[in-house]
């Protein structure tokens, strides 16, 4: 605080003086002190802050260096001990570094590998790889597959991932290679499994042929193309005759082998552009895309039948097979695949009805026949119950003496609407449906009953021959049934003869031989029927105990006009006789045939020229006549 003081005092010279004195505090000084204090405080704070910052920065720097060091170590560790192979290389593919796995995977030491370059170890061109890094900047390029070749010819497939790096001013490429051997193997397995599944969906496991589904697809595709090009497609439906019997009697394994062989044979004779598929159990479908003409189709059908007819050796056994083929044509027989297949099916049944071992083209009236077949089957089932069957008898004559050697019983069906139906019209159906077994049993009963009646009427005893179907022979208990019937009608076994077609003997050789032995030992005669249809040789048949051989009427038909047939008939007669079999010429229809066969020394004969098949009553009269008169009463033997 300022104060004013008045001081009175003397001057130096003794003069009075008033001194006015004011006392004021010294501001500047204090301000200066203040300022200095502030300055010092601020300096302290700034120093402290600065020091702190420096400390923090230093600390950070030290930390980041440690981190860098750590991450480098980590990277080195990962680089070296990764399960994947790493290559660090420059743009020329020279290696800057490689990891442990890169060496191990290729079987090289590090030194060896470092002396090589990228192009020495893989087929993936480095330029190609490097260009992949240029296109994509934000994300690494997708992996690329390549094969890596190592030491001693070892190689493995790998996935390559590549990244571009700038290291110490150098442009380098970091390549990761992942061994994908296992993945590839798994992929391949998956692919194989998929392919297999796909194959199974469209192919038959047994024959490896396309299956029904695939066959229909082929047919649809062929039809679509044929529509565009205005061409024709032919469908040939092939069915093995009586294959069911083989399967039933010889087992499915044999059946399977036969089917495989059949499929090989059919395949072997078709062109690559043709299709053969397994259409069902024993059905094969052959498709011909734009066949030349009808003759060409016929040739294929004939070739198939021929190929099947060659004897088939399965293990110890030889089989002689036949088949029936139904043929339909697009666009003539149907607008689409379904219609074409139905037409081929009808034609195939037609071929079977026509005696099998043949082919038939579809004709529109066949559709009706398929329906008729269904009706026929129903009717056939009722025929036994309603006693619509009847037997006719046709004698076999001794061609030298004219005496009756035997009476063959022949089945007839007296259909309520159709009239008399011949066995050829319904026996194949009866065989297919199995109805032949009860029908055949009825035939044997009825024949034996008839013989018993004739005997009771005092007619001369005569041997009877009964036709037995292959299916009946295979039926368990067949032999027992025959003996039972003989006993029931008190007929000695020597008065019975069983006629068996050649095909059964061939198809069931072992089984047949055993059965024949039992029958022969019991005194029953055995005849081989329709011999010469090309199924077996005489020397083969020698193994079986046949006492009679019935030469098919195809040889007799032209025996007079065709020297070839005459030669064949001569050979069969001579060989049959030399093997101890009586030979019967079937189907003698005229005088010239009879005379020639007599000249050739054929011992027995049967045919319309000698006598037609006769009903039971008529046969009794016939037997009556010949017992009273000489054989000359038969016109054929009269001169």
CB nearer to ligand C2E: pick between 570 and 611: 611
CB nearer to Mg ion: pick between 269 and 554: 554
Task: Return the range that interacts with Mg ion (CB under 5 A); candidates 73-81, 109-117, 432-440, 465-473.
Answer: 465-473
CB nearer to ligand C2E: pick between 38 and 608: 608
CB nearer to ligand C2E: pick between 308 and 528: 528
Q: What is the DSSP letter of 122?
A: B
Three-class DSSP category at 503:
helix
424 is a contact residue toward ligand C2E (CB under 6 A): yes
Measured between alpha carbons, how far is residue 479 from residues 51, 474, 498, 515, 545 in Å?
123, 10, 11, 8, 16
CB nearer to ligand C2E: pick between 265 and 550: 550
Q: Is the dihedral of CA 455, 456, 459, 464 positive or negative?
A: negative
Task: Return the range that interacts with ligand C2E (CB under 6 A); candidates 52-60, 362-370, 486-494, 584-592.
Answer: 584-592
Alpha helices, H only, 230-355: 243-250, 252-268, 294-309, 337-353
The closest alpha carbon to 447, from 413, 387, 397, 497, belongs to: 497
Q: Smallest distance from the beta carbon of 626 to ligand C2E, in angstroms?
A: 18
The closest alpha carbon to 549, from 522, 577, 568, 589, belongs to: 577
Query: Could you tell which of ligand C2E, Mg ion, none binds residue 241, using a CB distance below 5 to 8 A set by kind?
Result: none
Site string for ligand C2E, 513-532 (x = CB under 6 A): ----------------xx--
499 is a contact residue toward ligand C2E (CB under 6 A): yes
Q: Which two tokens mark 148?
A: 């890596």
394 is a contact residue toward ligand C2E (CB under 6 A): yes
245 is a contact residue toward ligand C2E (CB under 6 A): no
Interface pick for Mg ion out of 499, 502, 609, 613 (rule CB under 5 A): 499
**CB contact at 8 A, 431 and 377:** no
Interface pick for ligand C2E out of 219, 237, 410, 462 (rule CB under 6 A): 410
CB nearer to ligand C2E: pick between 162 and 421: 421
Interface pick for ligand C2E out of 235, 443, 448, 634 (rule CB under 6 A): 443
Positions 463 through 492 that interact with ligand C2E (CB under 6 A): 467-469
Interface pick for Mg ion out of 239, 283, 529, 582 (rule CB under 5 A): 529
274 is a contact residue toward ligand C2E (CB under 6 A): no
Whole-number Å distance between alpha carbons of 625 and 133: 113
Sequence-distant (6+) residues with CB within 8 A of 596 are 559, 560, 566
Q: Smallest distance from the beta carbon of 435 to ligand C2E, in angstroms?
A: 11
Rg of the chain taking only CA atoms, in angstroms: 54
CB nearer to Mg ion: pick between 341 and 584: 584
Please provide the size of the chain in residues: 639
The closest alpha carbon to 597, from 565, 639, 549, belongs to: 565
Task: Return the range that interacts with ligand C2E (CB under 6 A); candidates 30-38, 205-213, 359-367, 580-588.
Answer: 580-588
405 is a contact residue toward Mg ion (CB under 5 A): no
Measured between alpha carbons, how far is residue 2 from residues 9, 25, 26, 27, 325 in Å?
21, 7, 11, 12, 147
CB nearer to Mg ion: pick between 263 and 322: 322
Whole-number Å distance between alpha carbons of 486 and 451: 11
Q: What is the DSSP letter of 534?
A: S
440 is a contact residue toward ligand C2E (CB under 6 A): yes
Q: Smallest distance from the beta carbon of 472 to ligand C2E, in angstroms?
A: 7
Alpha helices, H only, 478-614: 478-488, 502-507, 509-521, 538-541, 553-557, 563-578, 591-599
For 588-624, b/e burial (b = at least 16 CB within 10 A) is beeeebbebbeebebbbbbbebbbebbebeebbebbe
Query: Could you tell which of ligand C2E, Mg ion, none binds residue 428, using a CB distance below 5 to 8 A set by kind?
Result: none
Interface pick for ligand C2E out of 608, 629, 632, 635 (rule CB under 6 A): 608
Interface pick for Mg ion out of 357, 447, 467, 475 (rule CB under 5 A): 467
Paired with 155 in beta bridges are 149
Interface pick for ligand C2E out of 159, 372, 432, 589 (rule CB under 6 A): 589
Query: Could you tell which of ligand C2E, Mg ion, none binds residue 503, using a CB distance below 5 to 8 A set by kind?
Result: none
Interface pick for ligand C2E out of 423, 428, 576, 603 (rule CB under 6 A): 423
Sequence-distant (6+) residues with CB within 8 A of 483 are 522
Paired with 392 in beta bridges are 410
Query: Could you tell which of ligand C2E, Mg ion, none binds residue 405, using a CB distance below 5 to 8 A set by kind?
Result: none
613 is a contact residue toward ligand C2E (CB under 6 A): yes
530 is a contact residue toward Mg ion (CB under 5 A): yes
Whole-number Å distance between alpha carbons of 625 and 148: 102
Query: Could you tell which of ligand C2E, Mg ion, none binds residue 210, using a CB distance below 5 to 8 A set by kind?
Result: none
Interface pick for ligand C2E out of 98, 287, 421, 427 (rule CB under 6 A): 427
Q: Smallest distance from the beta carbon of 613 to ligand C2E, in angstroms?
A: 5
Measured between alpha carbons, how far is residue 559 from residues 412, 538, 611 in Å?
29, 20, 19
Paired with 463 in beta bridges are 406
CB nearer to ligand C2E: pick between 286 and 466: 466
Whole-number Å distance between alpha carbons of 470 and 511: 11
Interface pick for ligand C2E out of 532, 587, 603, 605 (rule CB under 6 A): 587
The residues of the shown chain that bind ligand C2E, judged by CB under 6 A, are: 394, 410-411, 422-424, 427, 440, 443, 467-469, 499, 529-530, 553, 586-589, 606-608, 613
The residues of the shown chain that bind Mg ion, judged by CB under 5 A, are: 467, 499, 529-530, 586
């Amino acid at each position: 605080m300022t104060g004013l003081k008045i001081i009175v005092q003397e001057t130096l010279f003794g003069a009075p003086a008033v001194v006015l004195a004011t006392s004021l505090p010294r501001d500047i000084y204090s301000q200066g002190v203040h300022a200095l204090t502030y300055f010092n405080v601020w300096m302290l704070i700034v120093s402290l802050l600065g020091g702190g910052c420096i400390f923090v920065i230093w600390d950070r720097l030290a930390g980041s260096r440690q981190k860098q060091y750590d991450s480098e170590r980590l990277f080195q560790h990962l680089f070296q001990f990764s399960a994947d192979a790493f290559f660090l290389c420059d743009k020329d593919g020279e290696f800057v570094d490689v990891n442990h796995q890169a060496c191990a995977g290729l079987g090289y030491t590090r030194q060896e590998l470092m002396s090589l370059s990228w192009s020495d170890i893989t087929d993936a061109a480095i330029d190609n790889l490097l260009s992949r890094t240029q296109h994509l900047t934000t994300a690494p390029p997708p992996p690329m597959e390549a094969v890596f070749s190592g030491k001693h010819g070892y190689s493995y497939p790998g996935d390559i991932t590549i990244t571009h790096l700038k290291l110490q001013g150098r442009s380098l490429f970091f390549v990761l290679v992942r061994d994908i051997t296992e993945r590839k193997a798994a992929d391949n397995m998956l692919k194989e499994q998929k392919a297999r599944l796909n194959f199974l969906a469209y192919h038959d496991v047994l024959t490896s042929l396309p299956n029904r589904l695939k066959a229909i697809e082929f047919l649809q595709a062929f039809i679509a193309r044929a529509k565009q090009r205005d061409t024709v497609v032919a469908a040939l439906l092939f069915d093995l005759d009586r294959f069911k019997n083989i399967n039933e009697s010889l087992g499915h394994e044999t059946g399977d082998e036969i089917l495989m062989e059949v499929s090989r044979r059919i395949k072997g004779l078709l062109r690559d552009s043709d299709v053969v598929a397994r259409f069902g159990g024993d059905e094969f479908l052959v498709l011909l895309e734009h066949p030349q003409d009808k003759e060409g189709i016929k040739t294929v059908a004939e070739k198939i039948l021929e190929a099947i007819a060659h004897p088939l050796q399965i293990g110890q056994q030889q089989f002689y097979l036949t088949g029936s083929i139904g043929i339909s044509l697009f666009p003539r027989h149907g607008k689409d695949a379904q219609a074409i297949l139905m037409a081929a099916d009808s034609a195939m049944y037609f071929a079977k009805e026509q005696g099998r071992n043949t082919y038939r083209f579809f004709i529109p009236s066949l559709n009706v026949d398929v329906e008729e077949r269904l009706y026929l089957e129903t009717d056939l089932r009722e025929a036994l119950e309603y006693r619509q069957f009847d037997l006719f008898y046709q004698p076999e004559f001794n061609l030298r003496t004219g005496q009756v050697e035997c009476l063959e019983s022949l089945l007839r069906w007296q259909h309520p609407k159709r009239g008399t139906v011949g066995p050829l019209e319904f026996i194949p159906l009866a065989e297919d449906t199995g109805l032949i077994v009860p029908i055949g049993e009825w035939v044997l009963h009825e024949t034996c009953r008839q013989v018993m009646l004739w005997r009771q009427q005092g007619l001369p005893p005569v041997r009877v021959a009964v036709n037995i179907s292959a299916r009946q022979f295979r039926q368990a208990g067949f032999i027992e049934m025959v003996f039972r019937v003989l006993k029931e009608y008190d007929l000695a076994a020597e008065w019975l003869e069983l006629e068996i077609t050649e095909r059964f003997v061939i198809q069931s050789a072992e089984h047949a031989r055993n059965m024949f032995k039992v029958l022969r030992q019991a005194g029953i005669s055995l005849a081989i029927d329709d011999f010469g249809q090309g199924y077996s040789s005489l020397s083969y048949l020698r193994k079986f105990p046949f006492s009679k051989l019935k030469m098919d009427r195809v040889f007799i038909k032209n025996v007079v006009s065709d020297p070839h047939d005459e030669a064949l008939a001569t050979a069969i007669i001579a060989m049959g006789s030399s093997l101890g079999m009586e030979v019967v010429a079937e189907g003698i229809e005229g005088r010239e045939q009879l005379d020639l066969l007599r000249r050739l020394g054929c011992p027995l004969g049967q045919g319309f020229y000698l006598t037609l098949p006769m009903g039971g009553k008529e046969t009794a009269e016939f037997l009556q006549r010949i017992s009273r008169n000489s054989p000359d009463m038969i016109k054929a033997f009269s001169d």
